[in-house]
Every structure is written in C-alpha cells, then in structure tokens.
Amino acid sequence: MDYQKWSLGFISLVFLLITSSSAELLIKQVTEGRGIEYNNSYSLKTNLGLTRVLREERPSSKIVTITSFSVIKGRSEAFESSTFEAAGYKWRFMLFVNGNQNDPDGGHENMALYVGIKETESFPRGWEVNVDLKLFVHNEKLHKYLTVSDGTVKRYEAAKTYWGFGNLIPRTTFLDPNEGYILHDTLSFGAEISIVNPAEKQEKITFISNPPDNVFTWKILRFSTLDNKFYYSDEFLVGDRYWRLGFNPKGYQGERPRALSIFLYAQGYKANAVITNTWGSVNLQLKNQRSSNHIQLYSEAWCAIRSGYGIEGNSIILLEDLQNSSKGYLVNDAIIFEAELVKVSVTNIVSA
C-alpha cells in the first residue's frame, strides 16, 4: 500500500517534470519564432540599411490580401495588384512570393515586393518623384505588421519606375506557419508612400556681437524711499527681443539680504520676429558716479521663450558699501545701473 502510494507519487512527479520541460520547450520555440530580427545568423552585410520593425497600425496607402495562398505558393511569376492612388500619384504592387532572381538583393531565398509608378505618360520630360517607401507584411498571429524600410529616398524617374525590396522577408520565415505571416492560408501586405519634397526654407540662428543700441542705462531716484519689492525698468529692444532690468532695493531673498542683485529679464519679441530661445550675454554694471570704478558682472544664458526669464547679476554690491557715501555708488539718493548686451542671437527664416 505504502509502496503503491510512493510509486503513484513518483509517477506524478515524473509527469510534472515532463510537462514543465515541454512547456519550456514551447516557450523557447515561441520566443525564437517572434521575428527575424532576433535570428543570430541574419546577415548584416546582405541586409545593410534595411530596418524591420513590428507595428500595430495598418499601412496608410494600400493593403492587398490574397486568400488561398497555397494555390499560388509555388509560382515564380509576379502578382500585380490593381492601380491605386497615393500621395497624388498612381502605383501598382509587384509581388514575387518565391523571390526575384533579377534582383541582386533578392534571389530565391527571399520574398520580393515592389511598388511601380503608373500613368506617367503625361509627366513632363525629366520628371522625378522622390518617395519615402515603407512596405508591410501582415503577421496575423501577432496582430502586427512587419514594416520594412531602408531610410533612403527612392527616386522614381523614366529610367527607374519601380522600387522595393528584393529581400523583403526570408522565405523560410515567411512560409513557416509558426511565424504567423501565412495564417488561414491568407497573405496580406501593404505600402506607405510619402513624397519627399526637400525643404526650401530653414530656420537660422545667428549670434551678433555688440548689436546696435545694446547699452541701456537705468537711473533710480529717491533710493532711500523705495520699498522691499521688485522694481522694473522700461523695456528696451536689442536684437529680436525686448529686455528690462529689475532689482529689489532691500536685497534679494532671505539668503543674501545684505547685498543688492540686479537682473536682466528677456521679455517679448519685436513684431514679426521668429520666436525661438534668445541668447543673451550681458555686462551688468552698477555705475560709480564719482570715478570710473564701476562694478561689473558678466552673465549669459539661453533665455526661454516665455516672458520674464531672468539673467542674474548676483550680489553686485553689499548694502553697507552702497550706503557708504564715500564709495560713490549712491549719490544724491540715486543709483545707476547699466546693461550692455554684448552678444544676442537672432532667428531668421532663410532659404535652405
């Protein structure tokens, strides 16, 4: 009785081991079968430049589905689709399920798919159509499209009216029922065609040293009567942008109450300016009104587009030095700040 129990337990254990190891095998197979991009023997050299990704969205230009794939599976001649319109032109697919020997990229090992341009008779002499071409094969099992592209621009012209990939997908992968490209004896493929018109304009950021009217002077009167808050200058235009100065006469924030700081703020833009970040390099000065012993701080920043981005002239003077009349910075209860924008950027739209 005991022996029988033990033996039953042993048998279940063996059964469990077998079950789990075959499950492991199954998982391994599924993982290996997920896509050709994980095949170690995939040749980089012969496929240089080709990118293959899986995506969920259907291709935008055209989809063709062939049912009863087994009927045509062995054929070497091309399948040609109907003519379809995309991106303002007429096109037609050419599919070689057993490869195109005339394509050096293809051969019998690969499925080949091309898109030809059609109805070009009325085009002017020397016509060219530049295309960004993506080709697709539906993977029904993964509910995704294998998306093949090589990033180059395909130039359709009278001497070359079709483009595509002779090595779209290896036939071994494509025909393997576990891979999921042929399911329910059905093959579905597609294309995304977009016209590449080279940009005619570009945005150009240039830096100007010592731009016109780059010195702004701000005299503050009745200094001793001012409150513990920020005061701002009028705005002034340098380059593409308005600027203003600001300071708190009682010192800036808790950490530096004993010093005065001055800020340059990037504000709005002049009419018709191209709105981008603005570079600002600035000399911020507190003028000495008795000598040339001005205090100067240099600061610089990429000023954000939003109004009020501040460039800081940190602790330009200690309050006790400012108050000391023999130093010459506070005279007749007035102080003078000066901002010299030594370099700013301007942005223009110019031809590319």
Q: Report the distance separating Cα 314 and Cα 316, nearest Å.
A: 6
Task: Evaluate whether 243 touches 234 at the Cβ level (below 8 Å).
Answer: no
CB-based contacts of 15-21 (< 8 A; 24+ apart in sequence): none
Q: Report the distance separating Cα 72 and Cα 290, nearest Å.
A: 98
Write down the least CB distance from residue 321 to ligand NAG, Å.
7
Task: Evaluate whether 265 touches 244 at the Cβ level (below 8 Å).
Answer: yes
Longest Cα–Cα distance in the chain:
115
Q: Which is nearer to ligand NAG, 41 or 332 (CB)?
A: 41
Q: Which is nearer to ligand NAG, 34 or 256 (CB)?
A: 34
- The secondary structure element, H or E, covering residue 171 is helix 171-175
| Residue with tokens 């808050």, as numbered in its chain | 229
Q: Which is nearer to ligand NAG, 15 or 38 (CB)?
A: 38
Q: Which is nearer to ligand NAG, 171 or 343 (CB)?
A: 171
39 Cβ neighbours under 8 A, 6+ residues apart: 173
Residues near ligand NAG (CB under 6 A) are: 32, 39, 41-42, 170, 172-173, 324, 326-327
Write down the least CB distance from residue 73 to ligand NAG, Å.
18
Tell me phi and psi for residue 174, to 5 degrees: -60, -40
Write down the least CB distance from residue 276 to ligand NAG, Å.
46
Q: Report the distance separating Cα 55 and Cα 53, nearest Å.
A: 6
Q: Which is nearer to ligand NAG, 32 or 300 (CB)?
A: 32
Q: Which is nearer to ligand NAG, 28 or 58 (CB)?
A: 28
Q: Which is nearer to ligand NAG, 39 or 81 (CB)?
A: 39
Write down the least CB distance from residue 165 to ligand NAG, Å.
15
Q: Which is nearer to ligand NAG, 39 or 161 (CB)?
A: 39
Write down the least CB distance from residue 239 to ligand NAG, Å.
38
Write down the least CB distance from residue 60 to ligand NAG, Å.
29
Q: Which is nearer to ligand NAG, 45 or 125 (CB)?
A: 45
Strands (E), 98-140: 110-118, 128-139
Write down the least CB distance from residue 111 to ligand NAG, Å.
12
| Residue with tokens 């399920």, as numbered in its chain | 97
Write down the least CB distance from residue 334 to ligand NAG, Å.
18
Residue type, 62: K
Residue 332 zone, left/alpha/beta (φ > 0; ψ -120 to 50; rest): left
Task: Give the residue among 64, 50, 57, 191 at the shortest CA–CA distance from 131.
Answer: 191
Write down the least CB distance from residue 43 to ligand NAG, Å.
7
Q: Report the distance separating Cα 169 and Cα 124, nearest Å.
A: 36
Dihedral in degrees, nearest 10, Cα atoms 334, 340, 345, 348: 80
